[in-house]
Amino acid sequence: MLWIKTYITYKVSFDIDIENGMQEFILFINPLCFLMFIFGFGLFMKDKRRPTYIFAVSLIVSAILYGNVVYYREFTDFLTIPLLKQTSNMGDLGSSILTLMSPWDILFFVDLLILGLVMKFKPSFVVNKTYSKVNRRVYFLLVVAIGFFNLGLAETERPELLTRTFDREMLVKNIGTYNYHLYDAYLATKTSAQRALADGSELAEIENYSNANYKEPNKETFGIAKNKNVILVSLESLQNFVINNTLYGEEITPFLNKFIKESYYFDNFYHQVGQGKTSDSEFLLENSLYPIGRGSVFFTHSQNEYTTFAETLRAKGYSTAALHANNKSFWNRDVMYKALGYDRYYNIDDYDVNEQNSVGWGLKDKDFLKQSIAHLKELEAKGSPFYAKFITLTNHHPYTLGEEDATIGKFDSNSKTLNNYFQTVRYMDEAIEQFINDLKTEGLYDNSIIVMYGDHYGISENHNVAMAKYLNKDSITAFDSAQLQKVPLIIHVPGQKGQVISKVSGQIDLKPTLLDLLGIDSKGSIQLGSDIFSNDKLEFTVFRDGSFITKDYVYTSETLYDKATGEVIPDKSVAKPYIDKAQQELEYSDKIIYGDLLRFIESGQKK
């Protein structure tokens, strides 16, 4: 029953791309080896204990499968060991998790009810007997044979499968959900040992790569924001498709549409986060390194040495602060912000939060930004320029908003998530307008560079039917999904005219771009991004799963597309240099994080 239930779950709850009959066969058999193995231990038990063991295993395995189903509904991804360690986030995630569950999910556990009835009434077809050593040996030899058969077919379909640890869908499709979790546990053990075994010599190759890929700043933009305050706003879950777009004829983001006309607006800018979502976007901004493929760096490697954007500005005399009206320990920020170089973290304890000014995840954006003005005045009073990073909250799944705050209608589709999304986006747009006006009133606007960017997607691929309806498409293809990962990047510099910049870029480019605008030379530091304004900027953006976007290509789900037309390019060899570069950069970044390699620079062992 578990075998069949797992296969049905693959087909119904997971969007696993199947290209041929062999892949379908592998998908069908891949749960079998693990289930036979785990149930096989019951052969060593006494007759009375065996049914209890079988039921307990069935319950645990079903819970693991269901946990993946719920997580997949929002993130189109599978659980990992590092992610499960982030238990301190669970209290804040409660409302989001409940919206992902359905009353129909009770059907997911019908097999356990059947198993329980069989155990209670013991129908005649159920035989409980003792098995000999020969029986058990034959059984486990069969398990091993099935396992190698499955792995052999998988390697034939996808060579070097087990090296693609960043592609969880590929692993689940070929070795199965349960074997994937075992492999994930092995990786967790392996990566925990990397720091102890690392030494400074590993850094030399990465440092050479970073220096070789450094791009000289654009002379026209280098230093145009020198000694200005930096006010950076992370726009929760804001995707680019709502910018300059309408819902039933009404502008979704009227203020941002006006603001970008007097700012640098990057309309080909992509998020690059993994399972850490907002925390990953912060890590990309601060370090110009990729987040890890499993879990969040904020949890797993907060003890590392980093050379961050905040730390660099602090060394130049800036005071640094992060502002977010949430529990200070959420995403382990209270610990990680110290490692990133922030002097002050204004968290929920620094705000007046009550039932009237909060919704969903906490303090509403308008109240958060309004109350934050006083904190900015504190920073200004210190007499030096400041860097303040804001993280908004209201436009967060499940996108709940009271009627009194809704100033645009809902969309009409089969997705409640997308239907609500437009209302919370509009609310955030209004909050930003109010914030900009307050900055002007308080005299902070003209002496500050204002940076706003979307931290990650808001609408996952599980809502593709509704998204296709909104975009007037027949369906959302893998090519479309990749393009939907665009998030807005807006940089307002006092005295500079508005300009649209369409270079392919991503969050990994934020740090070098902002440092160059501030007139701070980042040459020689280890970073994998480059200044978007640079005339030599390579239009190349890598996603955490190894997919990438260039000026000419979109590579996703192991398929190469023409970026201009969306048509499939059969010969992937034309993009092989990019494919290799994407994998190399992800590997370099992982080595730095897992090995804590930047500590060798800090200690002077490597410069």
Per residue, what are the HEC states of 195-223? HHHCCCHHHHHHHHHHHHCCCCCCCCCCC
Average pLDDT over the chain reads 91
**In the prediction, which pLDDT does 98 show?**
77
**In the prediction, which pLDDT does 311 show?**
96
pLDDT over 70, % of the chain = 95
pLDDT at 50 over 90: no
Contact yes or no for 310/340 (Cβ under 8 A): yes
Contact yes or no for 362/61 (Cβ under 8 A): no
What pLDDT digit, counting tens, does each position of 236-257 carry? Answer: 999 999 999 999 999 999 999 9
Contact yes or no for 419/412 (Cβ under 8 A): yes
Task: Kindly calculate the radius of gyration of the chain based on its CA atoms and give it in whole angstroms.
Answer: 26
For the ranges 58-62, 81-85, 491-495, 585-589, which has the lowest average pLDDT?
A: 81-85
The full set of domains in the chain, from first to last, is: 2-194 (no CATH), 202-602 (3.40.720.10)
What pLDDT digit, counting tens, does each position of 267-301 carry? Answer: 999 999 998 999 999 999 999 999 998 888 988 88
Give the list of residues 6+ apart from residue 222 with CB closer than 8 angstroms, or none. Answer: 516, 517, 519
Quickly count helices (H) and strands (E) in the chain.
Answer: 23, 18
CA distance 438 to 25: 61
Bond prior to 291 in cis (omega within 30° of 0): no
CA distance 433 to 292: 34
Give the list of residues 6+ apart from residue 417 with CB closer than 8 angstroms, or none. Answer: 99, 397, 398, 399, 459, 463, 466
Mean per-residue pLDDT, 481-509: 97
> What is residue 31's DSSP assignment?
T
Instruction: Tell me which residues are annotated as active site.
Output: 278
* H-type alpha helices, 381-443: 416-441
Residue 403 token pair: 């009627």
Contact yes or no for 112/55 (Cβ under 8 A): yes
**In the prediction, which pLDDT does 607 show?**
34
Of residues 280, 337, 277, 340, the one with CA closest to residue 307 = 340
SS3 341: coil
Of residues 422, 433, 494, 406, the one with CA closest to residue 458 = 422
What pLDDT digit, counting tens, does each position of 284-343 carry? Answer: 999 999 999 888 898 888 889 999 999 999 999 999 999 999 888 788 898 899 999 999
pLDDT at 165 over 90: no
**In the prediction, which pLDDT does 606 show?**
35
What pLDDT digit, counting tens, does each position of 384-409 carry? Answer: 999 999 999 999 988 999 999 999 99
Amino acid at 160: E
SS3 51: helix
Contact yes or no for 84/294 (Cβ under 8 A): no
**pLDDT confidence bin for 359, thresholds 50/70/90:** confident
Classify strands 319-323 and 229-235 as parallel, antiparallel or unpaired: unpaired
Classify strands 548-550 and 540-542 as parallel, antiparallel or unpaired: antiparallel
Give the list of residues 6+ apart from residue 28 with CB closer than 8 angstroms, or none. Answer: 7
pLDDT at 163 over 70: no
Contact yes or no for 164/546 (Cβ under 8 A): yes
What pLDDT digit, counting tens, does each position of 402-452 carry? Answer: 999 999 999 999 999 999 999 999 999 999 999 999 999 999 999 999 999
Contact yes or no for 231/385 (Cβ under 8 A): no
**In the prediction, which pLDDT does 166 show?**
56
**In the prediction, which pLDDT does 94 show?**
53
**In the prediction, which pLDDT does 308 show?**
97
What pLDDT digit, counting tens, does each position of 88-135 carry? Answer: 555 555 556 777 788 888 988 999 999 999 888 888 777 777 788 899
SS3 464: helix
Contact yes or no for 549/509 (Cβ under 8 A): no
Contact yes or no for 588/203 (Cβ under 8 A): no
For the ranges 60-74, 136-150, 474-488, which has the lowest average pLDDT?
A: 60-74
pLDDT at 602 over 70: no
What pLDDT digit, counting tens, does each position of 192-238 carry? Answer: 678 878 888 889 999 999 999 999 999 999 999 999 999 999 999 99
